[in-house]
Chains A and B, each alone.
Chain A
Amino acid sequence: MTADTARHATAQAQAGQPLLQVRDLRVYYHTPRGAAKAVDGVSFSLEPGERLGLVGESGSGKSTIALSLMRLIKPPGVIEGGEVLLGGEDLLAKSEEEMRQVRLAGVAMVAQGAMNSLNPVKRVREQILDGLADHGQPIAKRAVADTLGALLRSVGLKPEVAGMFPHELSGGMKQRVVTAIAISLRPKVIIADEPTSALDVVVQRQIMDTLLRVQQDLGAAVILIGHDMGLMAQFVTRLGVMYAGKLVELCPVQAIFDEPLMPYSQLLIASLPSLTKKGELRGIPGLPPSLLDRPTGCPFRARCPHAFDRCAVEEPALRELRPGHWAACHLY
C-alpha cells in the first residue's frame, strides 16, 4: 500500500467507515465439467481492529475468499465479479504490480497449511527478508538483526531462530515463523486460514494469544478461518457462516451459540462434541449441493429439516433479522 492509501485508510477508519468491504464477490473454478461456483455473491465488511471468524462446511469457499482478498486465485479459478474495497480502494481493479504492494502491507495471509510451505533449504532469516524485499521493502544491512529480532520476539520466538532451517523447528515454531512473515509489514488486515489446526491446544493457545497481541499492537483487523467453534468463541467478535459458496449467517459470536437462526448453523452447533458428557457424534446427514450445478432456491434445502415449498423456488437473501444478526432463511 502506498503511503497515501495508508493515510487514506486511516482517515476513513477514523471516520467510522469499514476498513474492508467485500461486495458481491464471485469466484468460479472453471473445470472441464463446468464452472464450480466456489464463492457465489458474498458480501461483508470489517471494521478496523475487528476480529471476524469464518466457519462453514468443508469446501464451502472459505479459503477461496481468503485467496481472493489477496488476489492470489490461480487458474482455473477466476474472480468473476464483485468488489474488495480496502480503505475505499478496489483491490480487484488494481494492476498486479500495485497489488504486490498491497500484499503484506495492506492485507496479509497465513495460508491453510502454510507451515508446510516454508522453503526447506532456506534459513528463517532469508525467508523473512525475501518476503520484505519482494514487497519493495528491503531492510538496510545494519538494521537486519534488530528488525528480525524484534519481529521474531513479537511472535514469541528467540532471535536465534533466524538462523535455523524449517526442519529444525516444531510445528508450533514454524507456524509462528509464518505468522511473523505475515505481520512483517504491519498489515491492516490479517487473514489467518486455519492457523492452528495442526497444533495441540497448548501451542494453539499461545499462537492465538500471539495473534491477538500483534493485532492489538498493529491495530489490524483479523479474519480467522477455521472449523474449531471453541477457538472462534475464544477469539473472534463476529462470526460468518458459509454454506456452498454463500454467506448464510453473520452475527456477533455470542449469538451463534445462543440463537443460531439459519438451520445449517443450528445443526452445526448441535454437532459440537462435548468435553463433559459422552454422547452420540451426530453430523448433518446428506451432502452439500454440487457447486457445478446449483439447485434453485436455498442451497441448504435438501438437508434442511424445516424446508418448505418457498425454499425450492426462491433463494433467501441475507437479511438483518435481529439487530446486527443477519441470516439467509425463509423461516423468518
Chain B
Amino acid sequence: MAPLLEARNVSKVFSGGLFSRAQNIALDDFSFALEDAPPSITAVVGESGSGKTTLARLLLGLAAPTSGSVRYNGKDLRKHSRAEWRTFIREVQVIFQDPYEVYNPFYTVDHVLKEPIRKFALAGTKAQGRALMEEALTAVGLRPEETLGRHPHQLSGGQRQRIMVARALLLKPRVIIADEPVSMVDASLRATILNNLRQINRQFGISILYITHDLTTAYQLSENIIVLYRGGVAEVGSVERVVQHPQHPYTRLLVGSVPLPDPRRPWEAAPAPSALGREMTAASCRFADRCPSAMPVCIEVRPPLYQTNPDRAAACYLYDDAPAMATGDINQVFVGEAAD
C-alpha cells in the first residue's frame, strides 16, 4: 500500500537574492513518507533556515518542488483532480509557525474559524457551527465568549497561536503538519496543546509532522526525528536514540545548546569551530565549515547517510564503518511504535 503522504526525491531551489548570484537550495533531494497505519508522530528539527517550513509548504502543495514529487494516496499532487485536491486540502491540515503572518488584520477570529466550517460544510445550522467553534476554542484553552469577535492585534501572541491549533482541530483531518505550533505559548499551555496533539493522534488516528526547533518537545511528542541541516538530512531515526545519544556533530551541537531549566547546570562551552581552514564547495558536507571533527574528505565529498543501527542513521564519515543507505530510505530506520 502506498504511504499516505510522501515526498519523493524532492528538491526546492530558490534563485539567490539581489546580491548573491548563488542559488539557494532550501531542500536537497529529500524523500520521506508519512504513514498513517499506524498513525505516527514524526519530528523535524533543524536550525533557522534549514528548510523546515519549505518542506511543510511542499508537503501541503503550497509550493511546487523544483524536482521530485509530493504524493498523496500515491498520486502526485500535480495530477490530482479537483475532487482529489479538495479531499487533500481537507485531510491535510497545517498549523503555521507565525501567527503574525497568517492573519489578515481586518478579519476577526470568527472568520478564521468560520471559513473552514463553511468551505467544508461541517455544520448544518448556524448554531451547530457556533458550537463547533466553541468546542475547538475550549480545547485549546481559550474562552469562546471572549475570543470570538476579536481582531488579531487584540490577542496575545500565544492566544493567536492557539487559534490556529483550534482551526486545525475543527477539521478532524488525517494529517496535521504543525510548524512551530507552540513556540509562543507558556510551558504549561505548551504541554496542554502538545498533549492535545498526542491525543488526537491516538484517538482519531491523525498522523502528525511536528516541525520545531525545540528538541525537548520533539523528544516528548514524537517517535521518530529528522534532523535537517541546510536542506539535507544530517541525522534521522528513533527520537530516543537520536536525542539521548546524538551521533552527527550537528545534532550534538543542537542537543548541547538546549538551555537546561537549572541555573546550576550552565550551558556547555560553545564548541571549537572547524579548524580545517579550507573553502567549502558545493560538494562538501554541509556542516564541514562548522564541524569540530571535520576531515579533508568532508570538504571533498558529501557523506551519505550511514545506518549505524537498525533504527537510526547519520550523514557523517565518523560512521563510515556502517552501511551507507540511499537517501530515499530514511523511513527504513523509523520505529513503528512509540518507544514508551
Contact = CB atoms under 8 A, between A and B. Distances in A.
A296 interface: no
B260 A233 contact: yes
Nearest to B219: A275
B243 A275 contact: yes
Interface string B140-165: 01110010000000111111001000
A33 B261 contact: no
Contact of A200 (B48, B198, B220, B244): B48
Contacts of B100: 113, 116
B98 interface: yes
Contacts of A167: 17
Contact of A281 (B17, B184, B221, B270): B221
A170 B48 contact: yes
A171 interface: yes
B23 interface: no
A95 interface: no
Chain A interface size range? 35 or more
B221 A227 contact: no
Contact of A57 (B19, B186, B191): B186
Given A203-B47, A278-B240, A113 B263 contact: no
Contacts of A162: none
Given A63-B156, A230-B258, A234-B259, A283 B191 contact: yes
Given A116-B100, A276-B244, A279-B220, A197 B156 contact: no
A233 B17 contact: no
A280 B97 CA distance: 24
Contact of A233 (B189, B214, B262): B262
A257 B267 CA distance: 17
Nearest to A61: B156
A268 B185 CA distance: 12
Interface string B215-236: 1110111000000000000000
Nearest to A229: B261
Contact of B258 (A56, A57, A58, A275): A275
A55 interface: yes
Nearest to B244: A276
Interface in A156-175: 163-165, 167-168, 170-172
A227 B184 contact: yes
20 contacts: A33-B146, A112-B157, A113-B100, A116-B100, A165-B18, A170-B48, A171-B49, A198-B98, A200-B254, A202-B253, A268-B187, A271-B188, A271-B191, A275-B216, A275-B219, A281-B198, A283-B191, A283-B192, A283-B195, A292-B146
Interface of B: 17-20, 45-50, 97-98, 100-101, 141-143, 146, 154-159, 162, 180, 183-195, 198, 213-217, 219-221, 240, 243-244, 253-255, 257-264, 266-267, 270, 339-340
Q: Which 7 A-B pairs have the closest CB atoms?
A: A58-B158, A283-B192, A230-B259, A200-B213, A201-B257, A283-B191, A200-B47
